[in-house]
Structure 1
Amino acid sequence: MDLEKSAPAARGDTPRGEGCLVVAIRLPVRIVVLVLVVPVRMVWDALVVAGRFLNDTVFRPLGRASLWVGRAVFVWPFVGLWRYVLVPLGGALAWLGKVLVVLPAVGLYRHVLTPVGHALLWVYAHVLTPAGHAVVWLLRGVGAVCAAIGAGVYAGLARLTRYLVVVPAVWLYTWVLAPVGRAVAWCAKGLVRLVTTTVTGIGMGLYWIARVLFVLPALAVWRWVLVPVGRVLAVVAREVGGALGHAWRVAGRVSLAVGRFLGTLFRWVFVEPARWVYRSVLTPVGHVVRDAVLRPAAEAARGVGRAARQALASVRTTARQARADVRRMLLGEPKGPRSDGRPKAREVRGAQNASGGTDALTKS
């Protein structure tokens, strides 16, 4: 598509808004970039496929196993420690703290500190407060006397200060310091104006010298050299960027076609023969083995199991009858058989007691 787009430019019909330089740069840049980008894109797609395969077959199961191992090694022991050790221990410590600290503190506050506080409050209200009021009244009287004395002393000192310090200082400022200060200020203004004029003239001269020697040549270099070169480089960079994007998309389609070809080849070389062997060879052989070997073997195993269970049942029946015969020979016939054919426990116990008594009499 890009070759077709560049065909009018090759015939001399330049697209609107693009110069000959753009058209001359575009085609070789796109060809070179396409040749360089296609292998990179194919390697990138191969790495992506390999990464997805490794993620699905290795990393994800390994991550799940690591997560389970981490839970088993770190989380579950701490959960068990928290649930079965720390929580009961915390409850026991809370109970001990309540019994050993809270309840004694409450009793101390209620039976010791509260009465002491009430006593201190009574002392403050009925002893300290009247005494404080009396002291304040005495201090107010002493303060009034001292204030009257201080006011007289202050008035005398103020009058002496006025006539000895303030009046001479005002005269000195009005008739000596003010004229001298005005003269000094007028001289300073003239000096500042002279210095300003001199510095301004020197600055203007330096400004024009710097403009002629540096600014105008730099402006000419920028306008007639750097700007055209920058425009050319911008066009080249834009075309290289466009060529990279186009080559990346074309390389993606080429890589997709190559991947599909390799997938089809792998399918017809490995998958389809394996599927044909499974369907045409292994499945019939498996059915034959199942029908000719496994099912008869299973039936024989089930028959052996039934025979073994029947033999065990007959052995249990024979053993039960033998135990009943031995019990009958040792203890005698029971008077009233139970519903399950065995003698009652009370009768058997009586027979045992009777036989025990007979044995005792025989022994005696």
Structure 2
Amino acid sequence: MDLEKPQADRQRDPEVREPEGCLVVAIRLPVRIIALVVVLPVRMLWDALVVVGRIVRDTVLRPFGRALAWLGKALFVWPLVALWRWVLVPVGRALGWLVKWLVVVPAVWLYRHVLTPAGHATAWVARGIRAALTWIYERLLTPVGHGFRWLTRYLVVVPVVWVYRWVLAPAGRAVAWTVYWTGRVLFVLPVLAVWRWILVPTGRVLAVVGREVWTALGHAWRVTGHLSLAVGRFLGTLFRWVFVEPVRWVYRTVLTPVGHAVRDAVLRPVTEAGRAVGRATRRALTSVRESVRQARYDVRRMLFGEPRERVAMARREPAGGETRTLEKRVRREVSPPTRG
């Protein structure tokens, strides 16, 4: 098992690792061995489940899905399409026509002939009110506002700014400086020392261990994949030579000749005998039907007598192979009658 990458792979790898310490080398080999032992049954079980899942998908789920898709189309899609095409679309068109002539057209007429003149009148009144309010603001409220702003600035803002700048700001800076150094000495420096001298080295060791465990698991997963493939091929070959080939040999060398012998010695004679029996049965049934028909004829003749013979009617068409021609007709009409 190659635990280190070759030099050529290291040169091709864009992320070349730095030289590692003895701790990494000491952890890597046992971790990879343990990971290989742990991952091997999991990988073989996973490969078996993948094969079973593919078989179930191809033989069960895919035909079932196609049947469900056809059933869904037959139960939902086609009825919905028919409902949309033959019910909803005509109803929607009728409703659109009704809405247009019962709502839109009256609303447009109301907006054009009622609301628009009312809006123009309201706008004219609003312009007059605006002009009045503008005059009140410019002539009355603006001078009052300027005076109130001057009083507020010199009676409130200037004293408050002076108190903030010369009293509150220095006192706040002193309190903030005291709090900062107190918190730094009591909390920040101890936490910084614990982080720098305890947590960082421990985290680096745990990172090395975790990285090696993850790398070992990946390596074990790839190795167990090859082992699982080899085991699967071995089991397939074993199943073939233990079960499939003997069954094929028995079928080819034993069952096929026996089947041919049974077909030639038993089935064909039985079939021919069945056909002969069928022909004899059909002939017997035919003779029975003829006998029954003759008996019925005899009974009818004894009860009702001989049937009357039909009188032959003169036919206008020539019988047999004789054909009608103009020469024969003229000869028949011209020839004298025969005396008796």
Fold in common (TM above 0.5): yes
1:23 to 2:40 alignment: no
Aligned partner of 1:186 among 154, 158, 162: 158
Alignment-mate amino acid for residue 37 of structure 2: V
- TM-score of the pair, normalised by structure 2: 0.58
Match for residue 43 of structure 1?
Answer: 45
Deviation at 1:77, TM superposition (A): 7.7
Report the CA distance shift for 1:318/1:35 in structure 2 as closer, same or farther (over 3 A).
same
Letter in 2 for 1:280: T
Deviation at 1:5, TM superposition (A): 5.8
Q: Unpaired runs of 5+ in structure 1? A: 7-14, 99-104, 110-153, 338-364
Structure 2 residue 251 is the aligned partner of structure 1 residue 251: no
Cα distance in 1 for residues equivalent to 2:184 and 2:33: 48
Equivalence for 2:255: 282
How far apart in 1 are the matches of 2:211 and 2:294? 105
Q: Deviations over 1:203-245 (max 9, x none)?
A: 1221122223222332333233322222222222221111111
Residue in structure 1 matched with residue 211 of structure 2 by the alignment: 238
* Alignment RMSD (CA, Å): 4.6
Q: In the TM superposition, what is the alpha-carbon distance from 1:266 to its structure 2 partner?
A: 2.0
Q: Give secondary structure in 1 for the equivalent of 2:309.
A: coil
Q: Partners in 2 of 1:218 and 1:320 — Cα distance?
A: 123
State whether structure 2 residue 13 is matched by structure 1 residue 2. Answer: no
CA shift digits 1:13-64 (9 cap, x unpaired) = xx96322222121111101111111121122223333334444555556x36
Task: Within 5 Å, give how 1:120-269 maps onto structure 2.
Answer: 182-193=154-165, 194-269=167-242
Deviation by residue 1:137-162 (Cα, 9 ceiling, x = unmatched): xxxxxxxxxxxxxxxxx9xxx9xxx9
Secondary structure at the counterpart of residue 305 of structure 1: helix
Deviation of 1:200 after TM superposition, in Å, equals 1.6
Q: TM-score, normalised by structure 1?
A: 0.55
Q: Which moved more, 1:270-279 or 1:178-187?
A: 178-187
Counterpart Cα distance in 2 of 1:256 and 1:180: 90
- Cα deviation, residue 307, structure 1: 2.6
Aligned to 2:275: 302
Figure out how many residues of one structure are paired with residues of the other and give that number: 253
Q: Deviations over 1:150-180 (max 9, x none)?
A: xxxx9xxx9xxx9xx99xx97xx59xx9568
Distance of aligned partners of 1:305 and 1:335 in 2 relative to their CA distance in 1, 3 Å threshold: farther
In the TM superposition, residue 315 of structure 1 has moved relative to its aligned partner by 4.5
Q: What amino acid is the match of 2:184? A: R
Secondary structure of 2:311's partner? coil
Structure 2: gaps spanning 5 or more residues: 7-16, 102-131, 314-340
